[in-house]
Structure 1
Amino acid sequence: MSSATPAAPLAMISAAAATPQRIAPRRLVAFLIMVFGMFMSILDIQIVSASLTEIQAGLSASSSEVSWVQTAYLIAEVIAIPLSGFLSRALGTRLLFAISASGFTIASFLCGFASSIEQMILWRAIQGFLGAGMIPTVFASAYTVFPRSKFHIVGPIIGLVATLAPTIGPTVGGYITDALSWHWLFFINVVPGIGITVGVLALVDFDQPNFELLDRFDWFGLIAMGGFLGSLEYVLEEGPQYEWLQDTSVAVCAAVGVISAIAFFYRVLSAAEPIVDIRAFNDRNFGIGCLLSFCIGIGLYGLTYIYPRYLAEVRGYSALMIGETMFVSGVTMFLTAPIVGRLIQKVDMRLIIAAGLIIFALGSFQMTWITRDYDFYELLLPQILRGVGMMFAMVPTNTIALGTLRPDRVKNASGLFNLTRNLGGAVGLAVINEVLNDRTDLHIARLQERVTWGNATATETLNMFTQRMQGMGDAALMAMKQLSQIVHRQAVVMGYGDAFFMLSLFYLGLSLLVLFLKKPASMSAEPAH
C-alpha cells in the first residue's frame, strides 16, 4: 500500500485539472475516421426507407419481401452490437474496426449488384452484421481513449452522428435514388469504406488484442443471443401488420425468443467468459442511462418513421420532397451539438437531459393538432424542437452512462448501451404502428356514426359532389365514395394526432427519471480505475 498522505493525490488531481490535456492529432484523426464509419453504418439503416418502392420494382419483389431489405439489416445489426464488446477485447479496436469496415464495404458492393430479392436480403444481413461492430467500438473509444476533460468535445460528436444519421437517412436516400438509381445507395459506400479501412489500419493504436480470449469463445451463448435478439426484432417488426401472435410465424418466433432468452441469461450469468458481460448494469448511472437510451431510441426512430409516413400517406409527397422537409431536424441537431458540448461543462448533465426530454415532448405536443394541411412551415417548429430535444437528451445520457464507468468495463458496456437504443427504436415502431392502426379504426367508426343523412353538413357535401359528377357515370355512387375517402383521411390524420399526444405524455413523464441518476463527477477529473 502507498504511504502517501491524502494531500498528495489531491494536489495531483488539482494539477491535472489545471493543466489542459492535449489530444494528439494522430489520435483525433483516427477517431474521426472511425466516427465516419459509424455514420455510414447507422445511415444505412434508414437510407433505403425512402427508396423501397424503386428497389421492389428493380428486383421484381412483393411488398412483403422488399420490407426485408430493412428488416434483415436490423436483425443482423441487433445481434452483432452486443457481441462487439468481447470481440473488441479479443481482436483489439484496430483489427475489429478494420474487419467491420471492409466487410461492410464488400457487402455494400454486392448489394448494389444484387439481381434478386433473395440475394439482396442475404447481403443486407451480412452488411448489417459486419457494419454493426463499428458503432459500439466508436462509443467505447470515445470514453476510454480521451481524457474526461475532452468528453465535451468527443461526446457531442458521437451523439450528433448517432442522432443525425438515422434522421437524414431518408433525405440522403431520396436524393441519391432521384439523381442516380437505387443501386447507388450501396455503391456510395465503397470508396469511403476503403478509405476508412486503410485509415484505421494505419492510424489506430488505442489498445492491444488479446487473442487468447478467442479460445474461450462461448458459441452456445452466441446461438442463444442470436435466437433471443433476432426473434425479438422479428416479432417487433412484423407483429403490428400480422395481428401479433395470431400469425404463425410471429408466434413461432415469440416462442423461440422466450426459450432463447432463458438460455442466454443463464449462460451469461454462469459462463466463465460470457459472450456479453451484463455486470455493468450494477452501476446505477449505467443502468438508468440504458433505460433512457432505450426510450430516446423510441423517439429517434419513431419520429423518423412517423413524419415521412404522414407526408407520403396524407400529403402525397415523393421521397425527395419528404427528405427536403425532414432535413430541418438534421440541421438543428448539427447546430445544437456544440452548444450541448459547452453546456455539459457548466451545467448539471441531469438538468440538460430533463430539459431535452421536455423540449422533445413540446415538439410532439405541437403536432397533436395536426390536420391534413400541415406542410413544411407547420412542421418547422416541431422539427426544430425535436432536433434540439434529441441532442440535449442524447449527449449527456451517453456521457453519464459510459463516461463514468471504469475504462476496463466500457467496451462491454458500450455494446449493451447501443443495443438498448436500437431495441427502443424497434419497440417504438411497433407501438406507433399499433396506435396508428387502432386509433384510425376507432376514428373511422366514430366519424361514420356521425356522417348520416341527419347530418346537414354531410348531406350538403354529398349533394355537392353528386352535382359535380353529373354525366360521369353513377354520380351518386362516386360522390359516396369520395365522401368515404374524406372520412378515412380525416380518421388517419386524427390517428397521427393521437400518436403524437402519446409521445408527448411519455417523454414528459420520462423527464422525471433523471431524479434517480447520481450526480456525475466533474468532467475534468478522471474516473477511478
Structure 2
Amino acid sequence: MSEPGEKTFPASGAAGPEGDSASLVDWIAVIAGALGAFMATLDTSITNTALPQIQGEVGASGTEGTWIGTGYLVAEVIMIPLTAWLTRLLGLRRLLIVATSAFVLFSMMCGVSHGLTQMIVGRAGQGFFGGALIPTAQIIVRTRLPLRQMPVGMSIFGIIVVLGPVLGPVIGGYLAEEVSWRWCFFLNLPVGVALVTLLSLGLPAQKAELDDLAKADWLGIAGMAVAFGCLTVVLEEGQRERWFESPEIIYLCLASLLGFAALFTAQMTRAKPVINLALLRNKAFASTTLIALVIGAGVYGTTFIVPQFLSGIAGYNPRQAGNIMALSALPLILFMPVLPRVVGRFDVRLMVALGLLCFAASCFVDVHLSPDSAGGDFTVSQVMRGIGQILAAMPLNQAAMAAIGRENAADGAGIYTMARNLGGSMGLALSGLFIDVRSSVHSDTIRESVTANSLIGQARLAADGLGQGIDAATARLRAIAQLSHAIEKQALVMTYNDCFWMLGILLVAITPVVLLLRQPAPPR
C-alpha cells in the first residue's frame, strides 16, 4: 500500500529509457556528467591543504582566509536546488556548457588573484556554477541509461562524489608544495575543455523555454537563496564569531528563517514551485536524503579533523598530510570495477547499513590518539573510512533515484545533493564547536591536576628546566612555558578524539533509518 504523498511517484521499474543497452552517445553523456561532478566536488576541498600559502599570497588573515572555502560552499548550496528549474528553462546541454565555461573562467580568476576580494569572488563564482555540475550528473544517469545499466551509472556517480572531496587535499597539497597553489585552479582549464567537448558530443540540443521566466517561482527562488545561503554562512562562520554573541550571526539566522518562510509559502501557493519539496513526503526518498546529510557531515568532518591533527600535532606539511588522506581513496579505486555488479545484486539496505557502521568504526578507531601519534596511526582508520563511504554512498545514490519517478529526477537530484552539502557544513560546524569548547574543558581539567606545585608538575619542571647551561630562574620559566605548551597540545588531542567520537555516534544513530529505504527494482 502506498504511503500518503507517495501516490504520485511511479515505481522505480518504470524509470529509465527504453532499450536493452545504452548507446555510445549515452555513455559519453554519462562520462561527461561524472567528469563535471568530479571537477566540482574536487574544488570543494582542493584549497584545504594549500590554504596557508594562498592566505600569504593574497594577504588574508586566518579569519578572512576561511571565506576562501565558505564563499564556495555558500554559492554552491544556492545553485544546487536551482538546477532542476534551470534545466527545464535552458535545456540540459546548454546549462552544462554555460556552467562549465563559467566555472573555468572563475577558476582562472582565482588562479591569477593577488587580493582577497578577487579570490573570494572567484571562489563564489566557482561554487555557484559548480553547483550545477553535481546534480546534473545524476539527471544524466537517471534519464540516459536503461534500468539494467543503472547500477553502473550510479556507481560511477557515487565514486566521483566520494572521491572528489578525498582527493582534493591530496592534489592541493602536492601542487602547493611542488608547483604552485595557483595550479589548484589552472588545473580546471584542460578538464573544462575536455568536458565541454564531451557534453557537445553526448547531449542533444534542446530548445530553451525562456517564456518560463515570466511565470517562474521568484518568491521561492529568493526565499531558497536567502534561506540556504544564510544558513550555510551561519554553520561555517558561527563558531569563529562566537555564535549568538555576534549580532551578524543573529541577523543571518533571522534572514534564514524569513527565507524558509518565503520558500514554504511558495510551496503552498505555486503550482510549480522552484524546488519540489513534496518529494520529501515519500518516506523512502526522505530517508535517503537524511542519510546523505549525515554522511556529508561525516565525510567533511573527518577530512577537516585529520589534516588539522597531522599539521598541528604531527607537524606534517601539506603534501605529507595529503598522502595520508589519499589512503581512504584506495578502496574506491580498487572496488571500482566490481561495484556496479555488487550494488545491483545485494540488498541496498544491508549495504548502506554496513557502510555506515564501517564508517562509524573508522571514527572510533581514532578516539585513542595521543600527542605522539603520526600519519601511520591513521592507516587502518583511513582505509576503513574509504570502505565505509563506498559501501554507503554507492547503493544510497541508487536508492534515492529509485524512490522517485524519472520525471522527478532533476528535482530529486537537487534535493539529495543539497542535503549532502548542508550535512558537510553541519559536520564542519560541529567539529569547530567541539574543538573550541572541548579544548578549553580539557585544558582546564589538566591544569587543575598538573600545576607547578603538584608532584607531576615538579617532576616535569625538573626534567625540562635544569641542566641547560642557564640560570635557574630562566630555566624554570622556560620549563613552565614548555609544560603549558604540552598541556595545550594534550588538550587539543583529546578534543580531536571527542570529535571522532561524536561523528561515530552520529553515524551509528542514523543506521536504523536504512529500514525505510526502498530496494530498487532488479535489472531486466
TM band (smaller chain): over 0.9
Residue 242 of structure 1 aligns to a residue whose secondary structure is coil
Contact 1:89 / 1:411 at 8 angstroms: preserved in 2? no
The Cα shift of 1:138 comes to 0.4
The Cα shift of 1:459 comes to 1.5
The Cα shift of 1:441 comes to 1.1
Residue 451 of structure 2 aligns to a residue whose secondary structure is coil
Measured at CA, do residues 325 and 415 of structure 1 come closer, stay the same or move farther in structure 2, by a change above 3 Å?
A: same
Q: 2:228 aligns to what?
A: 229
The answer to whether residue 509 in structure 2 is matched with residue 484 in structure 1 is no
Distance 1:457 1:75 in 2: 48
Distance 1:453 1:137 in 2: 61
Residue 389 of structure 1 aligns to a residue whose secondary structure is helix
Q: 1:429 aligns to what?
A: 428
Q: 1:361 aligns to what?
A: 360
Q: 1:439 aligns to what?
A: 438
The farther-off stretch of 244-253 and 332-341 is 332-341
2:271 counterpart letter in structure 1: A
Residue 91 of structure 2 aligns to a residue whose secondary structure is helix
Distance 1:389 1:20 in 2: 34
The farther-off stretch of 203-212 and 446-455 is 203-212
Distance 2:433 2:61 in 1: 23
1:69 counterpart letter in structure 2: I
Q: How far does the alpha carbon of each residue in 1:185-206 deviate from its partner, in whole angstroms, 9 at most, with x for none?
A: 1111112212211321232128
Q: 2:449 aligns to what?
A: 450
Matches within 5 A, 1:379-390: 379-390=378-389
The farther-off stretch of 206-215 and 82-91 is 206-215
Distance 1:31 1:515 in 2: 30
2:348 counterpart letter in structure 1: M
1:484 counterpart letter in structure 2: S
Distance 2:270 2:173 in 1: 47
Q: 1:287 aligns to what?
A: 286
2:357 counterpart letter in structure 1: I
The farther-off stretch of 512-521 and 294-303 is 512-521
The Cα shift of 1:354 comes to 0.4
Distance 2:69 2:134 in 1: 18
Measured at CA, do residues 480 and 223 of structure 1 come closer, stay the same or move farther in structure 2, by a change above 3 Å?
A: same
Q: How far does the alpha carbon of each residue in 1:276-296 deviate from its partner, in whole angstroms, 9 at most, with x for none?
A: 111211222111100010011
Residue 520 of structure 2 aligns to a residue whose secondary structure is coil
Contact 2:368 / 2:497 at 8 angstroms: preserved in 1? yes
Contact 1:451 / 1:458 at 8 angstroms: preserved in 2? yes
Distance 1:58 1:113 in 2: 11
Q: How far does the alpha carbon of each residue in 1:316-370 deviate from its partner, in whole angstroms, 9 at most, with x for none?
A: 1111111011110012222234443222222110000000011111111111111
Q: 1:511 aligns to what?
A: 511
Matches within 5 A, 1:139-178: 139-178=138-177
Contact 1:469 / 1:479 at 8 angstroms: preserved in 2? no
Matches within 5 A, 1:48-447: 48-205=47-204, 209-447=208-446
Distance 2:385 2:282 in 1: 30
Q: 1:501 aligns to what?
A: 501
TM-score by length of 1: 0.92
The Cα shift of 1:454 comes to 6.0
Contact 1:69 / 1:120 at 8 angstroms: preserved in 2? yes
The Cα shift of 1:481 comes to 0.8
Q: How far does the alpha carbon of each residue in 1:369-419 deviate from its partner, in whole angstroms, 9 at most, with x for none?
A: 111222232111101110000011111111111133211011111101100
- RMSD of the TM alignment (CA)? 2.1
Distance 1:382 1:66 in 2: 30
Distance 2:436 2:56 in 1: 27
The Cα shift of 1:23 comes to 2.0
What percentage of residue pairs aligned between the two structures are identical? 30
2:477 counterpart letter in structure 1: L
Q: 1:522 aligns to what?
A: 522
Matches within 5 A, 1:24-35: 24-35=23-34
Contact 1:143 / 1:403 at 8 angstroms: preserved in 2? no
The Cα shift of 1:20 comes to 8.7
The Cα shift of 1:453 comes to 5.4
1:80 counterpart letter in structure 2: M
Q: How far does the alpha carbon of each residue in 1:172-216 deviate from its partner, in whole angstroms, 9 at most, with x for none?
A: 011112222122111111122122113212321286654443332
The Cα shift of 1:218 comes to 2.4
Distance 1:494 1:64 in 2: 24
The Cα shift of 1:521 comes to 2.5
Q: How far does the alpha carbon of each residue in 1:65-124 deviate from its partner, in whole angstroms, 9 at most, with x for none?
A: 221111111100000000001111222211111111011011111221223211111121
Contact 1:38 / 1:134 at 8 angstroms: preserved in 2? yes
Contact 2:221 / 2:274 at 8 angstroms: preserved in 1? yes
The answer to whether residue 461 in structure 2 is matched with residue 462 in structure 1 is yes
Distance 1:232 1:185 in 2: 28
Measured at CA, do residues 209 and 406 of structure 1 come closer, stay the same or move farther in structure 2, by a change above 3 Å?
A: farther
Contact 1:216 / 1:273 at 8 angstroms: preserved in 2? no
The Cα shift of 1:517 comes to 2.3
Distance 1:266 1:106 in 2: 36
Q: 1:6 aligns to what?
A: none
1:505 counterpart letter in structure 2: I
Contact 2:399 / 2:518 at 8 angstroms: preserved in 1? no
Distance 1:101 1:46 in 2: 18
1:306 counterpart letter in structure 2: I
Q: How far does the alpha carbon of each residue in 1:148-179 deviate from its partner, in whole angstroms, 9 at most, with x for none?
A: 21122111111111011001111101111222
Distance 1:366 1:207 in 2: 51
Measured at CA, do residues 385 and 270 of structure 1 come closer, stay the same or move farther in structure 2, by a change above 3 Å?
A: same
Distance 2:204 2:259 in 1: 37
Q: How far does the alpha carbon of each residue in 1:485-510 deviate from its partner, in whole angstroms, 9 at most, with x for none?
A: 11111111111111111222221222
Q: 1:5 aligns to what?
A: none
Distance 1:176 1:277 in 2: 41
Distance 2:389 2:206 in 1: 32
Q: How far does the alpha carbon of each residue in 1:112-152 deviate from its partner, in whole angstroms, 9 at most, with x for none?
A: 12232111111211121112111100011112211121122
